[in-house]
Amino acid sequence: MSTVDRAAARERVDTAYARLTQAEREVTRLVHDPATYTREVPYAALAALRESHGVVPVAEPALPGWPEGTGYWLVLRHADVDRVLKDPATFSSSLGGTQMRDPRTEADLAFVRRMMLNMDPPEHSRLRRMLAKSFTPKAIGALETQVRGHVDGILDRMLGLGTGGLAGPAGQGTCDFAKDVSADLPLLTLADVMGVPAPDRWLMFDWANRVIGWQDPDYRISAAFDPSGATDLGRAAYALRPSPGTDGLMPDPRSREGMPDLYAYAHALGTLRREQPGEDVMSILMAQRDDSGGSVSVEEFENLFWLFAVAGNETTRNGMPGGLVGLLGSPDAQAELRARPDGIPNAVEEMLRWWTPVMTFRRTATCDVELSGVSLTRGDKVVVSFAAANRDPEVFAEPDVFDIGRENARRHLAFGAGPHVCLGAFLARSMMTTMFTQLLGRTAWLEAAGEPVWLQSNFQRGVKRLPITWRA
């Protein structure tokens, strides 16, 4: 697919942006600024823009590690976001990629287009079908059993250690739920999916932080992995980890050069799984054949590994502490779920709607189209706001209220929609439902034990720290 006229796209945004009032321009700057999200999601600002515009132009000033861009069109209404995601012929994932920040070069754009996340049908459909077929009923059953075991082990550690890893008073303790509990469950589960040895799983924690949290000064240089207990594969990959430059920034993680440790690990693992298949999903995938009789190449495996290790980690990792924030702020809801645990699956849907771990995603218009009365042209950068769509009062009554009994909570778009709807949504739901069922079943009460710390990002609603006190 050919490139687009970036200068013309920028001129269209600039012209429309100039028509906004001064107050509206200030609101869009607030919404765009990653630092805003270390304090709160600006829901009031998003609501005002959603009501008055639906689709609004947003300027794209230079930020650390983010050169000045063309600007973009922010889509705020649930119906419009749903439409954009379900029409890949008009709103492409491939034309400009799916990140708000443009790839640095045409070569970088060509590279990210090889990832399933940045493909359109029919290329996307081929890999998607093969991957979907790899989640066989037997594999899904095994994963659900493994999830239950992992949750048991994680909560055993949480309830046995108490404050700071030391035994607390009998029947109570304190932990950082974000790091000690919710971070490890998706890592263990993804290790099961991909056949990654458990000692290497914290490599995925660092890789996800560097990619998803590149706007955050702590996460972009994440170094939680300890190579001393890792496999030879893990230590070899760790030796290739890049270092920050003089500006304190890591190389662009969207390029192969920016993640040499991840790609070296993925290449070695893909080769190993082809030669020595196990019972994990990725081993099943490597044995699949497409409609033409072809198989997944090692290069394709590398890019799928990137997708699972990074994107597959974050919704659950931040959805669980985000959901707990809702329960900590609503004692009645916590008490109700303890009394009626059969309400937890619906509560999980409300957690995903109310918290919305992934706040934005990008498409690029392929042709002239109108959206909420706004005329868009080929090459226009279109950014959907899941944060705004999931609180659209046209769909959700009293959308800012955390309501675990909400009848239509599952209409949220936290997993996307259309051909790119999250393939691992069933697994994320399983992890969250199992975690909250066991967490509430094995404790008598949960309370906040300090101020949480949010991720600096206008993409991911991340929870860096969430100190809690539990009573058994």
**Under-70 pLDDT residues of the chain:** 1-2, 161-170
| pLDDT value, residue 168 | 57
pLDDT value of residue 169: 64
User: Residue 169 corresponds to which tokens in the numbers above?
Assistant: 């008073």
* pLDDT at residue 1, as a whole number: 40
pTM as predicted: 0.93
Q: What is the pLDDT, as a whole number, of residue 278?
A: 83
> Residue 379: what pLDDT?
96
What local confidence, expressed as pLDDT, does residue 137 receive?
84
pLDDT value for 2: 53
3-state secondary structure the chain: CCCCCHHHHHHHHHHHHHHCCHHHHHHHHHHHCHHHHHCCCCHHHHHHHHHHCCEEEECCCCECCECCCCCEEEECCHHHHHHHHCCCCCEECCCCCCCCCCCCCHHHHHHHCCCHHHCCCCHHHHHHHHHHHHCCHHHHHHHHHHHHHHHHHHHHHHHHHCHHHCCCCCCEEEEEHHHHHHCHHHHHHHHHHHCCCHHHHHHHHHHHHHHHCCCCCCHHHCCCCCHHHCCHHHHHHHCCCCCCCCCCCCCCCCCCCCCHHHHHHHHHHHHHHHHCCCCCHHHHHHCCCCCCCCCCCHHHHHHHHHHHHHHHHHHHHHHHHHHHHHHHCCHHHHHHHHHCHHHHHHHHHHHHHHHCCECEEEEEECCCEEECCEEECCCCEEEEEHHHHCCCCCCCCCCCCCCCCCCCHHHCCCCCCHHHCCCCHHHHHHHHHHHHHHHHHHCCEEEECCCCEECCCCCECCEEECEEEEEC
Give the span between the Cα atoms of 185 and 345, in whole angstroms: 18
Residues sharing a CB contact under 8 Å with residue 265, sequence separation 6 or more, in sequence order: 200, 203, 233, 234, 236, 237, 305
Which pLDDT belongs to residue 288? 80
pLDDT on residue 220: 86
